[in-house]
């Protein structure tokens, strides 16, 4: 059977191990990201209360397309915060927030975006939720499609969480690693593509272990993550993946399949938004991931059949 041939191949087991490692990394990062996102949201609202001299920050009425920022353009259509195509440069039809809040939040998101020029991914957010939902702000720092309907860190994959950490200057204050230029956080973010866009579902053991070593390094960052139980529990799982013989089971393959299914959805959205030139390459990637998902579904299906047969065999033996 095809699935049995996969399970017997060492390189396939190493690929599955690396895919599962991404899931463990997400488990270790999600609570940390949730705490920092909530603190950033609180600080933004507290700053608005202080600077605007208001007791409560609430809105829910503003739309991104028509929102007038607090900052003003300089010169001829030049944003002082450096954002390209900023709302400040196209003032016709722009409306100031009636509750004196959303323009300031818009400014804060741009100021905290770490790219140069700053480039928040506005398609992932709903401005109407900014004053009440920390992740509506945090998702602006995920520079990839597919996260617009996500409502918490628990809904966001490892790659998305790493986007938030890398692209959000506020998070940099909670990380010891220098996130400018080449760094282990950016390397792990890239691993998702290398693992899930693989057409062979194979990895050398040394490569898989290197991936896992970098995932561990992220979760052992010396500023805060090193002292968080959830992060270090994930490190324990990752170390076990690396140091013990990895056995492919129904449970762990279902976890990998869930991540691949999510990657497929993200690629479909990205393909729909892409320019004509980019669409060909994205369709190729999407086809590879869809093929991968189909193969994994078959593996999980056969594993479940094997599990059922094993249970029935045990039950028969116990009755005899």
So what's the pLDDT on residue 51? 96
- If DSSP codes are grouped into helix, strand and coil, which group holds residue 297? helix
pLDDT attached to residue 9: 76
- C-alpha triplet 292, 298, 303: angle, nearest 5°: 125
If 0-12 CB within 10 Å is exposed, 13-18 middle and 19+ buried, where does residue 222 land? Answer: exposed
From first to last of its 320 residues, what are the pLDDT tens digits of the chain? 344 444 457 888 888 899 999 999 999 999 999 999 999 999 999 999 999 999 999 999 999 999 999 999 998 889 999 999 999 998 889 999 999 999 999 999 999 999 999 999 999 999 999 999 999 999 999 998 889 989 999 999 999 999 999 999 999 999 999 998 889 999 999 998 888 877 677 889 999 999 999 999 999 999 999 999 999 999 999 999 988 777 777 676 677 766 667 767 766 766 666 666 666 665 665 566 666 666 666 666 665 555 554 455 544 445 55
Structure tokens given for 111: 């100021």
**Domain boundaries defined on the chain:** 2-307
Inter-residue contact 188 to 214 (CB < 8 Å): yes
pLDDT at site 281: 63
Cα(190)–Cα(153) distance, rounded to whole angstroms? 19
């Amino acid at each position: 059977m095809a699935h049995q041939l996969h399970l017997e191949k060492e390189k396939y087991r190493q690929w599955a191990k690396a895919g599962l490692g991404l899931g463990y990394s997400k488990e270790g990062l999600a609570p940390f990201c949730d705490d920092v996102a909530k603190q950033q949201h609180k600080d933004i609202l507290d700053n608005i209360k202080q600077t605007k001299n208001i007791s409560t920050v609430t809105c829910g009425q503003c739309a991104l397309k028509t929102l007038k920022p607090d900052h003003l353009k300089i010169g001829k259509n030049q944003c002082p915060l450096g954002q390209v195509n900023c709302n400040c440069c196209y003032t016709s039809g722009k409306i100031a927030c009636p509750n004196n809040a959303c323009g300031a939040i818009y400014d804060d998101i741009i100021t905290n975006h770490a790219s140069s020029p700053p480039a928040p991914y506005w398609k992932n957010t709903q401005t109407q939720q900014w004053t009440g939902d920390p992740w509506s702000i945090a998702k602006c720092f995920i520079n990839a499609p597919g996260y617009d309907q996500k409502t918490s860190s628990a809904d966001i994959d490892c790659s998305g969480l790493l986007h938030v950490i890398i692209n959000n200057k506020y998070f940099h204050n909670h990380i010891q690693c220098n996130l400018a230029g080449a760094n282990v956080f950016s390397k792990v973010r890239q691993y998702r593509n290398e693992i899930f866009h693989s057409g062979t579902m194979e990895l050398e053991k040394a490569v898989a272990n290197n991936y896992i070593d970098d995932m561990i390094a992220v979760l052992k960052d010396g500023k805060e993550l090193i002292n968080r139980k959830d992060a270090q529990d994930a490190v324990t799982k990752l170390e076990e993946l690396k140091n013990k013989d990895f056995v492919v089971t129904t449970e762990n393959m279902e976890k990998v399949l869930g991540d691949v299914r999510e990657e497929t959805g993200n690629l479909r959205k990205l393909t729909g938004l892409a320019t004509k030139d980019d669409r060909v390459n994205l369709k190729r990637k999407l086809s590879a991931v869809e093929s991968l998902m189909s193969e994994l579904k078959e593996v999980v299906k056969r594993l479940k059949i094997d599990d059922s047969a094993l249970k029935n065999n045990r039950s028969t033996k116990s009755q005899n």
